[in-house]
C-alpha cells in the first residue's frame, strides 16, 4: 500500500515538473529535455549473451549428505566408521560461467562450480543446451575452463582490471538460486582483498553488487560491458547477500586460464625465498621508513633467488614495477607466473633501493615416503614447505604432499596439504627435524597439524 502511494506521489511530482497536461495521465518519462534517461539496458543487450548457466551432476557418499561429521576422518577413526559404508548418492549444483573465446567455445567459471562433477550442462541465453568438457581447473585460485561444441557464441570482452578504482560502478550477472540469468549493480567497494581464507591465492575485488549462491563463476563487468572479474564468493552468515561479495580480477583469472588451456594444469614456479611481512617493528629494526613489503628471512640454496643475488634480510617491495604489500602479495604474484618468466624485483638492502633481475624457477620439492620415518606414517608422502603452499610464510613445518586412502596415515587423519608443525611436542621445520622428533618406530606419534585456517592434534598409535 505504501509502495503504491509512493509511486503515485512521484508520478504527480514528475508530471508537474515536466509540465505534462494532467497528473492522472502521467507516466515515467523515457527522456527529459530531449535526452534519454540513463539505462544499463543497451550495454547489457550484448553482454548477457556471453554469460551462461551451469548445472552439474555428480555423486557423493550418502554418509556425507546425511551428517557432515561422518566426513571427518577423526570422527570416523574414533567411532570405527568404514570409509565407504554406503552407496554414493547423486548430487546437483548450479552456477554460472562466462564465454571468453567464442570461436573455441571456452567458458571461464569457478573450480568449485564444476569440481567432482560427472556431467556439466551449459545453458545459453538463447535456450540452447550443451554438455561441456573440462579443459583444466585450479583449486588454489578457484578458476576453471570448460568447453562446449557450439556455434554463434558471443564472448564478453575483457579489460585491464588493474585500472579499477574504488567507487567504480560494476554489474554482476549470474544465475542466483537457480532463478535464471539475473543482473545486479553496485560499486567496487575495495580492491586487493586477501587473507580471507576463501582461496589459496586471493586478490579479490570487493563489491556491493548483489552476489548470491548460483552467481559463482558469473561475470562482473564495468559500464562499458567489459569483463573485470569472475564472481566467486560472498561474506554472509545466512548464505544470502549482505552487500559484501568478492570477484577474482580478470587479469589474475586470465593468467590462470592461459595456463589451463595450454597445459591443462597450473605449473607454478618459485623464487626460492622464505618470506614474512614487513611489520612496523621490523621496519624500525631495519631503520627504514617503508612499511610495505616482504622480508626475506632465508634464501634456498641453488634457487633462482640465490642465483639472482637475493640475500637474507632483503626487503622485496615491488615485482615488475608493481608494489608488494606483504608476504602474501608476493606469493600471489609469483604463483601466477609461468616457469622461466623473467621478473624485475625492487629490493631494499641496507636502506637503499636496488633492482634485481630474477627468473621464476621450477619447484624443487624434496619428497620422501613417510614410511621410512615411521611405520605409522605409511601411505603419506612428505616434503618441504614451498612457496606454492597456502601456509608458506605463515608457519614452519613439513607438508603432506599426498596420502593414499586406506593406509595407516589416512586412517589416522592425515590429509593432503596438511602441515606438520611439531611431532612429539618438538618443533618441526624440515624433514630432518621430523625424523629426529618421531624417534623410535615402536612409539606412537603426537602430531600438531595446521589445516587451512585451523589446527589440530593427531595421535598415531
Domain boundaries along the sequence of the chain:
2-37, 43-266, 273-359, 367-460
Query: Position of cell 561422518?
Result: 70
- Nearest residue to 93 (alpha-carbon basis) of 109, 73, 70: 109
Domain at 273-359, CATH from 3.30.450.70, 2.30.42.10, 2.60.40.1840, 2.160.10.10: 2.30.42.10
Measured CA to CA, the distance from residue 387 to residue 360 in angstroms comes to 12
Among the options 161, 216, 304, 318, which is catalytic? 216
What's the pLDDT score for residue 292? 87
Among the options 138, 141, 142, 189, which is catalytic? 142
CA atoms within 13 A on the CB side of 379: 16
What's the pLDDT score for residue 15? 37
Cell of 72: 571427518
Class of 43-266 in CATH: mainly beta
Measured CA to CA, the distance from residue 313 to residue 302 in angstroms comes to 18
- Nearest residue to 290 (alpha-carbon basis) of 280, 301, 299: 280
Cell of 163: 585500472
**CA distances (Å), origin 222, targets 24, 51, 160, 164, 239:** 38, 14, 11, 9, 26
Any catalytic annotation for residue 142? yes
Helices within 212-288 (DSSP H only): 250-263, 280-285
What's the pLDDT score for residue 34? 66
What's the pLDDT score for residue 240? 64
Any catalytic annotation for residue 22? no
- Nearest residue to 94 (alpha-carbon basis) of 202, 198, 204, 181: 181
Among the options 93, 112, 328, 389, which is catalytic? 112
Is 367-460 the same fold as 43-266? no
Give pTM, 2 decimals: 0.67
What's the pLDDT score for residue 11? 37
HEC string of 435-449?
HHHHCCCCCCEEEEE
Measured CA to CA, the distance from residue 130 to residue 258 in angstroms comes to 23
Return the C-alpha torsion angle 217, 219, 220, 225, nearest 10. Answer: 170
Query: For the residues of 350-366, what is the DSSP string, one character each?
Result: TTEEEEEEEE-B-----
Measured CA to CA, the distance from residue 220 to residue 248 in angstroms comes to 9
pLDDT along the chain (461 residues), means of 10: 33 36 47 72 89 86 48 51 57 85 95 90 92 91 93 93 93 84 91 74 86 87 94 74 86 92 83 86 85 86 87 91 86 83 91 90 71 83 74 80 87 88 86 80 80 83 73
Identify the CATH number of the domain defined by range 367-460.
2.30.42.10
What's the pLDDT score for residue 79? 47
What kind and span of H or E run contains 130? strand 129-131
Measured CA to CA, the distance from residue 218 to residue 240 in angstroms comes to 16
Give Cβ neighbours of residue 454 (< 8 Å, ≥ 6 apart). Answer: none
Backbone angles phi, psi at 40, to 5 degrees: -85, -10
What's the pLDDT score for residue 345? 94
Give Cβ neighbours of residue 178 (< 8 Å, ≥ 6 apart). Answer: 94, 214
Amino acid at each position: 500500500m505504501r509502495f503504491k502511494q509512493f509511486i503515485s506521489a512521484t508520478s504527480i511530482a514528475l508530471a508537474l515538473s515536466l509540465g505534462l497536461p494532467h497528473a492522472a495521465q502521467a507516466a515515467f518519462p523515457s527522456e527529459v529535455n530531449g535526452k534519454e534517461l540513463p539505462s544499463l539496458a543497451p550495454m547489457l543487450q550484448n553482454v548477457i549473451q556471453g554469460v551462461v548457466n551451469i548445472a552439474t551432476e555428480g555423486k557423493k557418499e550418502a554418509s556425507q549428505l546425511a551428517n557432515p561429521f561422518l566426513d571427518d576422518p577423526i570422527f570416523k577413526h574414533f567411532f570405527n566408521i568404514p570409509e565407504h559404508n554406503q552407496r554414493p548418492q547423486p548430487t546437483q549444483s548450479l552456477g554460472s560461467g562466462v564465454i571468453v573465446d567464442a570461436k573455441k567455445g571456452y567458458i571461464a567459471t569457478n573450480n568449485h562450480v564444476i569440481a567432482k562433477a560427472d556431467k556439466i550442462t551449459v545453458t545459453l541465453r538463447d535456450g540452447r543446451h550443451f554438455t561441456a568438457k573440462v579443459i583444466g581447473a585450479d583449486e588454489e585460485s578457484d578458476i576453471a575452463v570448460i568447453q562446449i561444441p557450439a556455434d554463434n557464441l558471443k564472448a564478453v570482452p575483457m579489460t585491464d582490471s588493474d585500472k579499477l578504482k574504488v567507487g567504480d560502478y560494476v554489474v554482476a550477472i549470474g544465475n542466483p538460486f537457480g532463478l535464471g540469468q539475473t543482473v545486479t549493480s553496485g560499486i567496487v567497494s575495495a580492491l586487493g582483498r586477501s587473507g580471507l581464507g576463501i582461496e589459496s591465492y586471493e586478490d579479490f575485488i570487493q563489491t556491493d553488487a548483489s552476489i548470491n549462491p548460483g552467481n559463482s563463476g558469473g561475470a562482473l563487468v564495468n559500464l562499458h560491458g567489459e569483463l573485470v572479474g569472475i564472481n566467486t564468493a560472498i561474506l554472509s552468515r545466512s548464505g544470502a547477500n549482505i552487500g559484501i561479495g568478492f570477484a577474482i580480477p580478470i587479469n589474475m583469472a586470465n593468467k590462470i586460464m592461459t595456463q589451463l588451456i595450454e597445459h591443462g594444469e597450473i605449473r607454478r614456479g618459485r623464487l626460492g625465498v622464505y618470506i614474512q611481512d614487513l611489520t612496523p617493528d621490523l621496519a624500525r629494526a631495519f631503520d627504514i621508513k617503508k612499511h610495505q613489503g616482504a622480508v626475506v628471512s632465508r634464501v634456498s640454496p641453488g634457487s633462482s633467488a640465490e642465483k639472482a643475488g637475493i640475500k637474507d634480510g632483503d626487503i622485496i617491495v615491488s615485482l615488475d614495477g608493481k608494489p608488494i604489500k606483504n608476504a602474501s602479495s608476493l606469493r600471489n604474484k609469483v604463483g601466477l607466473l609461468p616457469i622461466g618468466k623473467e621478473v624485475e624485483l625492487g629490493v631494499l638492502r641496507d636502506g637503499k633501493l636496488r633492482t634485481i633481475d630474477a627468473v621464476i624457477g621450477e619447484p624443487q620439492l624434496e619428497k620422501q615416503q613417510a614410511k621410512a620415518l615411521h611405520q605409522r606414517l605409511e601411505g603419506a608422502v612428505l616434503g618441504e614447505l614451498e612457496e606454492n603452499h597456502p601456509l608458506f610464510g605463515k608457519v614452519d613445518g613439513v607438508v603432506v604432499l599426498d596420502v593414499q586412502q586406506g593406509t595407516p596415515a589416512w586412517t589416522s587423519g592425515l590429509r593432503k596439504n596438511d602441515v606438520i608443525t611439531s611431532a612429539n611436542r618438538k618443533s618441526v621445520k624440515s624433514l630432518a627435524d621430523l625424523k629426529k622428533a618421531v624417534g623410535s618406530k615402536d612409539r606412537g606419534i603426537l602430531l600438531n597439524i595446521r589445516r587451512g585456517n585451523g589446527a589440530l592434534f593427531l595421535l598415531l598409535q
